[in-house]
Amino acid sequence: MRTIILLTIGITFSLSSFAQRITYGAAAGVGVYSMRGDAVNNLKQVLDFTNGIVAVKPVTGYYAGGYVNIPAGNNFSIEPGLFYSSKGCQVSGSYSVKGIDILSANVNSALHSSYIDIPVLLKANFNGLQVFAGPQASYLMGAKLTTTAGIAGFNLLNSKMDVSNQFNRWDIGFTGGLGYQFSNGMRITAAYERGLSKVNAAQNVAAYNQGIKIGAAFNF
């Protein structure tokens, strides 16, 4: 009985000490998002015939949310998080004849998608320098396609469509990167994320999300 009591006390103190080391935080930042895959590569090859007049380009997005950092041994921790992220890509171009404005034309079609990202990261911390990587599940909240076109300074088309039903709701992928943790609880991070699920609803087109993110976080 004495052994059981001592063991129970020891476990209680260990769990209490472990719980006290768990930290919570908030993070936010910006990212450059695009898509990859055979569908995008084929589109780029077609656009090459326009000699750069029309091109596939990334879009600027942002993310914000929170996380829990759970110690998992010396210099290591597990960090699940929950973030809102805006992603997408765009196709745009313009054409003009020098000195003849009436022949100038432009077109832009941009996909803006909103996701809830749930990463689960394994982190290694070496005197403030952090290396992290792990799987990420993303749920599509909505997607809008904005298209504008004009000629000679006149706006001929300006439409915005909800295309959420054209996209796969779940995107399973991974993310990883580097960061630095300051003694005051602030940290800066740079990460790359890559989706492994085809983005279209029928999943018959090889197109995947990808992005590079830079941001800051603060431990409470």
Q: Where are the domains of the chain?
A: 23-219
Six-digit token pair at 44?
């780029």
Q: What is the pLDDT of residues 89-135, one digit of tens each?
A: 887 665 554 444 444 556 777 888 999 999 999 999 999 999 999 99
Q: What is the pLDDT of residue 106?
A: 67
Distance CA 57, CA 107 (A): 13
Q: What is the pLDDT of residues 166-180, one digit of tens each?
A: 889 999 999 999 999
Distance CA 61, CA 32 (A): 6
Query: Whole-model pTM?
Result: 0.79
Strands, DSSP E only, in 127-165? 129-151, 154-162
CATH code of domain 23-219: 2.40.160.20
Q: What is the pLDDT of residue 47?
A: 45
Distance CA 160, CA 137 (A): 27
Residue 4 clears pLDDT 50, i.e. is over it: no
The tokens 């909800």 sit on which residue?
162
Among candidate residues 152, 188, 201, the one with its CA nearest the CA of residue 29: 188
- β 54-57/76-97 pair status: antiparallel
Six-digit token pair at 182?
């300051």
